[in-house]
A and B are shown apart, each in its own frame.
Chain A
Amino acid sequence: MIGIIDYGMGNLFSVSKALERIDVPYKMGERPDELEGCDGYILPGVGAFPDAMKALEEHGFISFIKEKVASGVPLYGICLGMQLLFESSEEGGDTKGLGLFPGKIEKFPGVDENGKPYKVPHMGWNKLNVHQPDQELMHNVGDEYVYFVHSFVARTDEESILYATADYHVEVPAIVGKENLVASQFHPEKSGRAGMQLLENFCKVMVKQ
């Protein structure tokens, strides 16, 4: 059973339907007690970082997520749900995140190293550069196109967490992971074959159902 963490800021409908397409049982919950005992968790997220941290707090999920991750339960963060797992974000001032991945979330500068402006958000299909093909999550996922849409990007010095990146003027951490904790900047449920494969790998390989 997968628990989808509902703190009011995710596109839960699309994620849940994607799980139905791959025959994965799930439930959604707005409070930790509704999601206690699941085999794995998905943390979705759309919107602004500060609002999302506030909502997680209000729903009582901050310590819940930290405890689950620390005790080895698999968790997959999607989009803003990935960014929340880092130490902090400069979105709306400087906001503290869950601190489970090293690094911080910064706005795309919008100007490259030669001073040439480029477009923000990073929006559209971009190709993955897979760094760690042997990870369970990455099984059967190659250098394929996935759909990005974001204005803020994770910056980290810790290369060991980079499962895959994409190039958009800077190196964009696309899929990150550390043992039972994984996340993608893009929405797997909106990223065609490769995205659905990631969801399947998470729900059926990483999570022991």
Chain B
Amino acid sequence: MLSKRIIPCLDVKEGRVVKGIQFVDIRDAGDPVELAKVYDEQGADELVFLDISASHEGKKTMIDVVRQVASELAIPFTVGGGIRTLEDIKETLRNGADKVSLNSSAVQRPELITEGADYFGSQCIVVAIDARYDEELGTWRVYTHGGRTPTEWKVADWAKEAVRLGAGEILLTSMNQDGEKTGFDLPLLKAVQEVVTVPVIASGGAGSSEHFYDVFTEVDADAALAASIFHYKETSVQNVKAYLKEKGVVVR
């Protein structure tokens, strides 16, 4: 039986981790590779690096980060942010990333999902979806460009379409819950779980170990991602896993 995955997410800008990280006992708190090692030691099952560099130089630096992480760690990791072409996918995977995460670029040009999946297999292609509840639509709407741009897509429809095109995994972020620390958006996750046949990573809203328990037991999410509660040391990956284990959830 698969264990439930806990995935810390690191935002990287111009080669440095941003979002005010509060680790104390490492050399350089802004170094993505050092942080990745800390999370690995804590028992993280996988890592996500989101490149939010605005410059071309920053993008190149990200490839160096990818190479270093792949050189030093023996756990899988996903890289997202600014991956727009099949060439970008190739470059990222060939330098040691296990998966790429596509968000805005997949909405703009859905064939990119198929191109990546045909070349490397579906398992390498994660489609990230930013979702916000829309009263008028009566369901969740897909947003792109870091949540700034609304699209015509309903979340469940886009998730289904992404899988049809070849996505091997869905990383689903609730914009409503993001940063609130009041728990994952269970109704949203349920709505997507019901319509896709690939693993779903829950994201947005984690504030405590109980929230991970809820998302794994109530909607059977395959994995859960969090950033700030780990970065700000409100809890650690090992604390969350110890809690889950005690409650009978299968973790590594």
Chain A contact residues, CB within 8 Å of chain B: 11, 13-14, 17-18, 20-21, 46-48, 110, 117, 119-127, 145, 147-151, 167-168, 187, 189-193, 195-196
Contact with A along B192-225 (1 / 0, CB 8 A): 0000011100000000000000000000001100
Assess the A123–B121 pair: CB atoms within 8 A.
Answer: no
Closest 5 CB pairs of A and B: A17-B71, A145-B252, A124-B2, A149-B123, A13-B96
Pick from A47, A119, A127: contact of B121, CB below 8 A: A47
Q: Is residue B98 contacting chain A, with contact meaning CB distance below 8 A?
A: yes
Quick one: closest B residue to A80, CB to CB?
A: B121
Instruction: Name the prevailing secondary structure of the A interface residues.
Output: mixed
Q: 19 extra interchain contacts, Cβ-Cβ under 8 A, other than A148-B2, A189-B74?
A: A13-B94, A14-B96, A17-B72, A17-B96, A20-B71, A21-B71, A46-B121, A46-B124, A117-B197, A119-B199, A124-B3, A124-B5, A127-B1, A147-B45, A168-B1, A190-B74, A190-B75, A190-B98, A191-B74
Pick from A11, A121, A123, A187: contact of B93, CB below 8 A: A11
- Once A14-B70, A190-B76, A192-B75 are accepted as A-B contacts, the answer to whether A119 and B198 lie under 8 Å apart by CB is yes
Assess the A126–B2 pair: CB atoms within 8 A.
Answer: yes
Within 8 A of A (CB), among B85-123: 93-96, 98, 118-123
B interface size (C-beta, 8 A):
33
- Once A119-B222, A125-B45 are accepted as A-B contacts, the answer to whether A17 and B5 lie under 8 Å apart by CB is no
Pick from A123, A187, A191, A196: contact of B199, CB below 8 A: A123
Tell me how far the C-beta of A127 lies from the nearest C-beta in chain B, rounded to whole angstroms.
7
Pick from B46, B70, B75, B197: contact of A119, CB below 8 A: B197
Tell me how far the C-beta of A16 lies from the nearest C-beta in chain B, rounded to whole angstroms.
9
Q: Is residue B84 contacting chain A, with contact meaning CB distance below 8 A?
A: no
Quick one: closest B residue to A16, CB to CB?
A: B71
Q: Is residue B190 contacting chain A, with contact meaning CB distance below 8 A?
A: no
Within 8 A of A (CB), among B168-212: 168-169, 197-199
Q: Is residue B67 contacting chain A, with contact meaning CB distance below 8 A?
A: yes
Assess the A147–B76 pair: CB atoms within 8 A.
Answer: yes
- Once A46-B121, A110-B197, A119-B197 are accepted as A-B contacts, the answer to whether A125 and B3 lie under 8 Å apart by CB is yes
Assess the A13–B2 pair: CB atoms within 8 A.
Answer: no
Quick one: closest B residue to A190, CB to CB?
A: B76
Quick one: closest B residue to A193, CB to CB?
A: B74
State in angstroms the CA–CA spacing of A14 and B67 once bound together: 8
State in angstroms the CA–CA spacing of A123 and B123 once bound together: 8
Cβ–Cβ < 8 Å partners of B169 in chain A: 121, 123
Assess the A13–B123 pair: CB atoms within 8 A.
Answer: no
Quick one: closest A residue to B1, CB to CB?
A: A167
Assess the A46–B5 pair: CB atoms within 8 A.
Answer: no
> Considering residues B96, B122, B168, which has the most beta carbons from chain A within 10 angstroms of its beta carbon?
B96
Cβ–Cβ < 8 Å partners of A119 in chain B: 197-199, 222
State in angstroms the CA–CA spacing of A124 and B252 once bound together: 10
Cβ–Cβ < 8 Å partners of B75 in chain A: 147, 190, 192
Cβ–Cβ < 8 Å partners of A125 in chain B: 2-3, 5, 45, 252
> Would you give 7 A-B contacts (Cβ < 8 Å), ordered by A?
A13-B96, A21-B72, A48-B118, A120-B197, A123-B199, A147-B75, A167-B1
Cβ–Cβ < 8 Å partners of B121 in chain A: 46-48, 151
Pick from A14, A48, A124, A151: contact of B222, CB below 8 A: A124
